[in-house]
Amino acid sequence: MIRSVTIYTFLLMAFLVVNAKGQSLSWTLIENLEDSLRAKPKPIMVFIHTDWCKYCKMQEKVTFNDQELINLLNRDFYSVKLDAEGEIDLKFMGRTYKGGSSKDYHELSKMLGMKNGKLLFPTTVFYSPTSQGLSKFQGFQQAGDLKAIIKKFEAGI
């Protein structure tokens, strides 16, 4: 009996700890993006990263775990991760982009993320399919910075 109560208590505490963290960022697969946009149009946030980028990992672990930012992104945007070194061809906004190779980055990451002829990691891109508005921010972004960017983007600045 005591063992059953102990197990029950442990499971209850584990459940509470997991749920106490709050919501996590809802990532949309780029392959599902066009269907999602048809069903419910809203802007897109694209996080361009690589596997070896330490600042990319830090932005995922720190910035994208801020509850207020998560709520904003989940409510108002489709959030998409794009591996700049991904080798698979991807379709985005009606066009197919060739995957990366050992000598070059993915065409989509270059099209969305290049600024002044350079692609840096991480790059966070905000794109509005309806207005064709595009804003790119290279380098590590803190949650407060992204929240301010989102508010300006939503206001059309």
CATH number, domain of 46, equals 3.40.30.10
Structure tokens at 11: 């499971």
Q: How many domains does the chain have?
A: 1
Question: For the segment 114-152, what is each residue's pLDDT rounded down to a tens digit?
Answer: 999 999 999 999 999 887 889 999 999 999 999 999 998
Burial of residue 46 (number of CB atoms within 10 Å: 0-12, 13-18, 19+): buried
Q: At 133, which helix (H) or strand (E)?
A: strand 133-138
Answer whether residue 151 is part of any domain. yes
pLDDT tens digits for range 51-83:
999 999 999 999 999 999 999 999 999 999 999
Q: 11 in a domain, yes or no?
A: no
Q: Which domain holds residue 112?
A: 23-155
This prediction has a pTM of 0.84
Residue 6 lies in a domain: no
Residue 129 — φ and ψ, nearest 5°? -60, -30
Any domain includes 133: yes
CA 56, CA 34: separation in Å to the nearest integer? 25
